């Protein structure tokens, strides 16, 4: 019998996220100078920071290459940021080899066709509610939230709660 996504969450040590359509809603605002601006959800950022501070690996693999995105992610404490990645599978394999991570311990969240092949290699493929049908079809978990609207927070919080690390992270922070 196949494991439920909650059972798989017990073994997750690593989160890998795409950017456009996952950390953003996929909308790009183009300024008069041609600069492309994106919006990111502050709660997604908070959850990624909590995951890092709780000992999880957090990695970004994106085909896009916006330096503003890199700066935002670095400010959250993310050091493994792979922007402008032409081959997400190759980047994924290099990343897990560097850190000696087993693919079954990885949760990957993607939303569109460029994520398809790498999602087939991980333990827990996930996607936002508004992902394309092909990605939904191969996802073990589809967030009730859209990309850029809390889908990342949703999966991080669920994993940390299953592993009893969410409340532990906050102990003493509100005293």
pLDDT tens per residue, range 50-97 = 999 999 999 999 998 888 899 999 999 999 999 999 899 999 999 999
**Count of domains for the chain:** 1
- Residue 51 inside a domain? The answer is yes
CATH number at residue 160: 3.40.50.1000
pTM: 0.94
113-142 tens-digit pLDDT: 999 999 999 999 999 999 999 999 999 999
- Residue 101 inside a domain? The answer is yes
- Residue 4 inside a domain? The answer is no
| Domain span at 150 | 12-167
Residues 162-173 as b or e (16 or more Cβ within 10 Å = b): bbebbeeeeeee
For the chain, what percent of residues have pLDDT higher than 70? 97
- Residue 69 inside a domain? The answer is yes
- Residue 142 inside a domain? The answer is yes
DSSP 38-62: ----HHHHHHHHHHHHTT-EEEEE-
Asked if 125 contacts 138 with a C-beta cutoff of 8 angstroms, the reply is: yes
- Residue 39 inside a domain? The answer is yes
- Residue 115 inside a domain? The answer is yes
- Residue 76 inside a domain? The answer is yes
> What is the 3-state composition of the chain as percent helix, strand, coil, each rounded to the nearest 5?
40, 15, 45
């Amino acid at each position: 019998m196949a494991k439920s996504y909650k059972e798989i969450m017990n073994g997750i040590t690593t989160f890998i996220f795409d950017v456009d359509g996952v950390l953003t809603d996929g909308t790009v605002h183009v300024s008069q100078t041609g600069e492309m601006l994106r919006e990111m959800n502050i709660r997604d950022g908070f959850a990624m920071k909590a995951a890092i501070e709780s000992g999880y690996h957090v990695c970004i693999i994106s085909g896009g290459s916006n330096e503003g995105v890199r700066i935002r992610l670095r400010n959250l404490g993310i050091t493994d940021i792979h922007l402008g990645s032409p081959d997400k599978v190759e980047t994924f394999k290099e990343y897990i080899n560097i850190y000696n991570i087993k693919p079954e311990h990885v949760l990957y969240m993607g939303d569109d066709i460029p994520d398809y092949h790498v999602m087939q290699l991980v333990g827990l493929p996930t996607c936002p509610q508004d992902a394309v049908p092909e990605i939904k079809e191969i996802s073990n978990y589809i967030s009730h939230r859209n990309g850029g609207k809390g889908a990342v927070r949703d999966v991080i919080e669920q994993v940390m709660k299953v592993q009893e690390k969410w409340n532990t992270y906050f102990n003493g922070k509100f005293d």
